Amino acid sequence: MSAIATFQAAAGHAGDATGMAGDAVSLLRLAVGSQTLAVSIADVREILQVGRLTPMPRTPAFVRGVMNLRGAVVPVIDLGARLGLVPADIGRRSCIVIVEVAQADPADPPLVAGLLVDAVFEVLQREPTAIEPAPELGTTVAQRFLHGITRAEGQLVGVLALPTLLAVADLADAIEQHPLH
CATH says 3-154+168-177 is which class?
A: mainly beta
What is the C-alpha to C-alpha distance for residues 175 and 181, in angstroms, rounded to an integer? Answer: 13
**Are 73 and 59 spatial neighbours (Cβ–Cβ below 8 Å)?**
no
φ/ψ of residue 141, rounded to 5: -100, 135
What do you get for the CA distance between the two ends of the chain, in Å? 19
Closest Cα partner for 82 from 161, 13, 135, 25?
161
Q: What is the pLDDT of residues 106-148, one digit of tens each?
A: 888 899 999 999 999 999 999 998 999 988 777 889 999 999 9
DSSP 33: T
- Whether the per-residue pLDDT at 155 is higher than 60: the answer is yes
Q: What is the pLDDT of residues 16-52, one digit of tens each?
A: 333 444 578 999 999 999 999 999 999 999 999 999 9
